[in-house]
Amino acid sequence: MLRHKTLHGGFIGGGVGLMLLALFYLGDRLFRLPFLPFNFFDWLARALPGELVTLGIDSIVDAILFLNLGSSTSATAKLIEQIIALTIFVLLWVVIGWLIALVSQQTRFSAHQAGLTAALLLFGAIAIILNVETVQQPLALAWQFILLVAGGWAISWGLAAAREAETAVSNRRNFLNRFGGVVLGVTVGAAGIGWLFGRQPADTGAEEAVDTSGDGMAMADVATDPEELQGRLEPAPGTRPEITPDGEFYRIDINTRPPVIERADWELQVDGLFDNPRNLTLADLMAFPAVTQPLTLSCISNRIGGDLISAADWTGVRLGLLLEDLGLQPEAQELTIEAEDGFYESVSMPDMMDPRTLLVYAMNGETLPQRHGFPLRIYIPNRYGMKQPKWITRIEAIEGEGPGYWVERGWSEEARPKVISIIDNVAVDQRLDNGRIPIGGIAWAGDRGIQRVEVQVDDGEWQAAQLRLPPLSTLTWVQWRYDWPAASGEHTFRVRATDGEGTLQIGEESDVRPDGATGYHAVTETIA
């Protein structure tokens, strides 16, 4: 009997969790109040051991690749993360309902007392771990308090009603119908109102046009003269473009949803070993001479042949120039960077002073999109994306070495890109007049450039591909093309590259953790 009643508690708790999910969504959409399911999941991802988080990420990516889900690994992974966050929130309330039922059966606490106590304890825990800063936001704190207490009361009401309905089968059926109707009505109603009447996204200043042609704005020295880009090799059909469209640029970060920062409220806090430290607005940063750099960025967790790599024109101020203006002191050895979402990283002195290192505020001619770090992110050449914070809010010049978010969780301290090459397409349906089939893709090696790409068909000899030179800059990937003398049957195509320093791509396969994946990308096609 006890087990039966506690199962009732879990069932009722799950229904209450669904209603709260919809009500938190309603508050988020109408009034931009905290959406607790995502906030809790983000906290959980930061609090759990790094190896466990990495295992979870790897499992998600493995599932995406195995089931061939979505056209973008990063976008699909974020969607799965959000689904997991919602599921965890509902399951949490299943457990709370079960505990309330157990306590009310095993102790002198009534269901109402147990429900209220559980809600208050949950609110206290959430207020401590998630809302340290929301003491300044009493409305957000009050909203969470009201909904959590209402959730505890709803479970206790459901348990009391369930006990009254135990006398007859018809009563139990009526209770289930009533409770199910309430859950369905509240969930669909609140979610529907939020979806239909939710506020438009805030006008933050993100994705606004930036003048990249006026005084003080120039293409960086690393960029190729546009005249030299004329008359280059035609890329093979199906090869990705040299610049990734904004909507397709990969997004990897530690948030279920990107932080929303309004330009009017943002300042870059400057602390530490400076003679002239001062906070800087975005307008202050834009007043410095700015440069635009075409560049490629890759995630260290990108699999061989994966799509967690993109290219864009990024505009910003040279970090070294800014630090000089702030009066960087000789004792400074590193620059620690903190972000709005709790991410942090440290920049070494050589990287700080590298003229290619930028504090970036624009992407492809517009201020950064929210999802890509508005209002400010950093670019450091020859490093994976794990070393490059977005949504930057604070910098501090320090003596000694500073911390790194992913370094502390077992990833590479250096995060230097490996030589990679990818086959984008074997254009089996677009044979040339001479019967050859064009094969194309990209190769990249950080800032070291690419001097050679080779293609192997089955177990044959490696054949040199043509490179589309010069690339957009010394920091971008290189497109390559190989026109294969086609033969019918099933064939496996492999690709490898050699960087500008003469280092051949590593053929031995290794996992992404901790230094990035190695191995040759291969695809198999059947030729008629």
Cβ 202 vs Cβ 374: under 8 Å? no
Of 386, 423, 220, which is closest to residue 305 (Cα–Cα)? 423
Amino acid at 228: E
Q: Is the peptide bond before 369 cis (omega within 30 degrees of 0)?
A: no
**DSSP assignments along 374-388, one per residue:** TT-EEE-TTS-GGG-
Q: Give the residues of the chain that fall short of pLDDT 50.
A: 1-2, 134-135, 214-216
Give the pLDDT of residue 6. Answer: 66
Burial 123-153 (b: 16+ CB within 10 A, else e): beebbeebbeebeeeeebbebbbebbbebbb
Cβ 118 vs Cβ 154: under 8 Å? no
Give the pLDDT of residue 212. Answer: 54
For the domain made up of 420-527, the CATH class stated in words is mainly beta
Of 528, 451, 465, 452, which is closest to residue 493 (Cα–Cα)? 465
For residues 269, 274, 276, 282, the Cα torsion angle rounded to the nearest 10 degrees is -30
Specify the DSSP element, H or E, that contains 38. helix 36-47
pLDDT tens digits for 494-509?
999 999 999 999 999 9
Question: What residue ranges in 277-389 does DSSP mark as E strands?
Answer: 290-298, 309-318, 334-339, 344-348, 358-363, 366-367, 377-379
Residues comprising the chain, all counted: 528
pTM reported for the whole predicted model: 0.90
Rounded Cα distance, 363 and 368, in Å: 5
Axis crossing angle, helix 169-197 with helix 138-164, rounded to the nearest 10: 160
Residue ranges, CATH 2.60.40.650, the chain: 420-527
Cβ 495 vs Cβ 521: under 8 Å? yes
Neighbours of 212 (CB within 10 A): 17
Q: Is the peptide bond before 34 cis (omega within 30 degrees of 0)?
A: no
Cβ 504 vs Cβ 498: under 8 Å? yes
SS3 assignment, position 264: helix
The values of phi and psi at residue 316, to 5°, are: -175, -165
206: left (phi over 0), alpha (psi -120 to 50) or beta: beta
Q: What superfamily in CATH does domain 217-409 come from?
A: Oxidoreductase, molybdopterin-binding domain (3.90.420.10)
Residue ranges, CATH 3.90.420.10, the chain: 217-409
Rounded Cα distance, 412 and 294, in Å: 25
Give the pLDDT of residue 165. Answer: 64
Cβ 487 vs Cβ 390: under 8 Å? no
